[in-house]
Amino acid sequence: MIFKTVAASPKKKFSVGKFLLLLLILDFLIIIALAIIAYLPQYHRTKDLILQSTFGFNIGLVVILFLLGIYYIFFRNKDKEAIGTLQMMEEKIMINDTTFPIFEIENLRIVGNDILGEFRGFKSKGTNNEIFIILKNGEEISSNFVQTTETSLKNAENILNIYHEKGLLTESNLENILNNTNYY
């Protein structure tokens, strides 16, 4: 089975999604604080004014939720450029022209359930899949790859079963892949 490999996403400390989420939390806390203040006895005369100011924050909350939804659905996963291939064969695994014979592999784990075009709250680009290989010499290799409906891990059931029989792939990882669940 051949999959396209893609460059791993850099881990960003700041992103638009994180900023919008921070604004959402701050807005929500301000609304709660204003509602509590409005019902304190010393603010009884200005209660209506305080509650009216929460209306503006509620509108802000709706706008931020709307922007978060648009960002999450349309811009969360950008298209990534293919950098090579991942080939899983009975006796070896090839990642970007590097061959790893099965007898050199200690452990294999496949993470991801991201299939191109599927809609699970957002339209998937199929790039959030990753294979982790731990070699017997202790070296760890990982690579992100693309799954499509045509090139899905479920279609590689025979090879995955061979990896499981050889003790490379755990029972739970294999079952999750074949049942199309988390793959973790």
pLDDT tens track for 150-166:
888 888 889 999 999 99
Q: How far apart are CA 128 and CA 117, in angstroms?
A: 13
Amino acid present at 61: L
Give the percent of the chain with pLDDT over 70.
85
Report pTM.
Answer: 0.63
Helix (H), strand (E), coil (C) string for 25-86? HHHHHHHHHHHHHHCCHHHHHHHHHHHHHHHHHHHHHHHHHHHHHHHHHHHCCCCCCEEEEE
Taking residues 61-73, report their average pLDDT: 80
Q: How far apart are CA 133 and CA 128, in angstroms?
A: 17
Q: How far apart are CA 106 and CA 134, in angstroms?
A: 6
The answer on pLDDT for 101 being more than 80 is yes
- Range name among 39-53, 88-102, 145-159 with the lowest pLDDT average: 39-53
